[in-house]
Amino acid sequence: MTPVCKYLSLASLAVAVLFGPAPSLAGQSQTGERAERVVDRTPEIRALESVIAAQPNDYTARAELARLLGQAGRYAEALAQYDVLIQKFPDDVDHSLARARVLGWAGRDSEALLELERARALAPGYEDVWQLEISILGRQQDAASKTTLEALRLEAETRFPDSEWRRSRGEVEEIHWKITAGAGYESLTGDNPDWNNQFLQLDWVRSGDQRYFGRVGRDVRFDNTDQQFVAGGAWRFPGDWTLGGELSASPDANFQPETGYAFYVERPFAKAWVGDLAFQQRRYTTATVSTYGAALQRYFGDFRLAYGLKLSHLHGYENSLAQSLAMDWYLTPQTSVRLTLSGGDEAEAVGAGQVLETSVRSATLSGRHAFSERLALSWSAGTHLQGDLYRRNYVGLALTVGL
């Protein structure tokens, strides 16, 4: 890029700051509703047009120009810019998503849906694509579109069970409730008594961007019984950031943490990638454990692959490191299966009043089947090797009902 072009690029950015906010694609009308007012972006548009005239291959400036033209209601010009970008970068799902959004604003819904179908093929796990497609289908009146909409909503329930944008706009403005009841059984090797657990969880979602939950659980281990109470939530912010957290307590705990808290931050990026960071602290009667975690997810086709690292610190002792690898397979719009493998060293309660660092290895096969938008069954089965102490073989079932 020549010095003149660099100067123009900087000038265009300065104009954007001075004359008003320029929200990202995630901050625009995610639902695809037609713009209720047109924003005057003339100064920024002229500056960017000058940049592109001098440097046609400045595709970053061209993408910004296309976005501002769409905001200004100059849909035909915006689409022309997106056509150039898609021709140059045919596998860039963000350009395809942005083009579909402008087509929706222009009232060209059939073309928008075709573009979104292409975008979904490029990045099957990109929530924003699903959200826009469901929104545009929701305003169609023909029977075929309504059938497609219901099928897409059901598949979204399987892929994104905690997201409420798959519902209609009127539904999302209400509070939605879900109740889940589950139980598990664990068989231990040696002379160790078997374990079992039961739980009841209530979830409620408001406005599609806020989720809260409360859970009460009962665990039986080594002939001791603990009760645990957990409350938490997750909140979605502009820019596709999600922040979640929870608090837990176990009165008169034998092996569960007396108190604990955890939080995480998550954000999708680079098409079908998702990254998150997490922190958890558990306070047992005899020890405190702090855990730092990081994970990276990638969606491709009907699959999701996730890799995670956890660094645990048993206070007063050395750190321990564990890792996990999970693969999801979305067999049908209603059914998904997950295989999780993990191994390393962890600080965990292995008995009443005993928190030890041991090597662990585990393999879990789990799944979920949605009978409808209001009824789903989850299951799990696996094995867990806790150092030289014992092996646990376990199964679990849970039923979720929408209220």
How far, rounded to the nearest angstrom, does the alpha carbon of residue 196 sit from its chain's CA centroid?
30
Q: Alpha-carbon dihedral of residues 137, 143, 147, 152, nearest 10 degrees?
A: -10
For the stretch 213-264, pLDDT in tens is 999 999 998 888 999 999 999 998 877 789 999 999 999 888 889 999 999 9
What pLDDT score does 169 carry? 44
- Mean pLDDT to the nearest integer, 302-309: 90
What pLDDT score does 101 carry? 92
Computed on alpha carbons and rounded to an integer, the radius of gyration of the chain in Å comes to 25
323 pLDDT above the threshold of 70: yes
Q: What is the CATH number of domain 175-402?
A: 2.40.160.60
**Domain residues of the chain, as ranges?**
3-172, 175-402
- Tokens 């806790």, located at residue: 386
| Pair 185, 394: CB distance under 8 Å | yes
8 pLDDT above the threshold of 70: no
Reported in sequence order, the residue ranges of 160-223 that DSSP labels E, i.e. its strands, are: 175-188, 195-206, 210-221
Q: Measuring CA to CA, which residue among 254, 262, 259, 280 is closest to residue 355? A: 254
For the stretch 125-148, pLDDT in tens is 788 888 898 889 888 888 888 888
Q: Does domain 3-172 have CATH number 1.25.40.10?
A: yes
Run of H or E residues at 301: none
| Pair 193, 222: CB distance under 8 Å | yes
For the stretch 20-61, pLDDT in tens is 433 333 334 444 444 444 556 677 888 888 888 898 888 898
CB atoms within 10 A of CB 200: 13
- Mean pLDDT to the nearest integer, 354-379: 88
Q: Measuring CA to CA, which residue among 366, 308, 378 is closest to residue 338? A: 366
For the stretch 144-176, pLDDT in tens is 888 888 888 878 877 777 665 555 444 444 447
Burial class (CB in 10 A: 0-12, 13-18, 19+), 141: exposed
Distance CA 374, CA 200 (A): 17
What pLDDT score does 264 carry? 96
Distance CA 229, CA 249 (A): 5
386 pLDDT above the threshold of 70: yes
Q: Is 291 helix (H, G, I), strand (E, B) or coil?
A: strand
- Residues forming a β-bridge with 259: 249, 283
267 pLDDT above the threshold of 90: no
How far, rounded to the nearest angstrom, does the alpha carbon of residue 263 sit from its chain's CA centroid?
15
Between 3 and 303, residue with greater pLDDT: 303
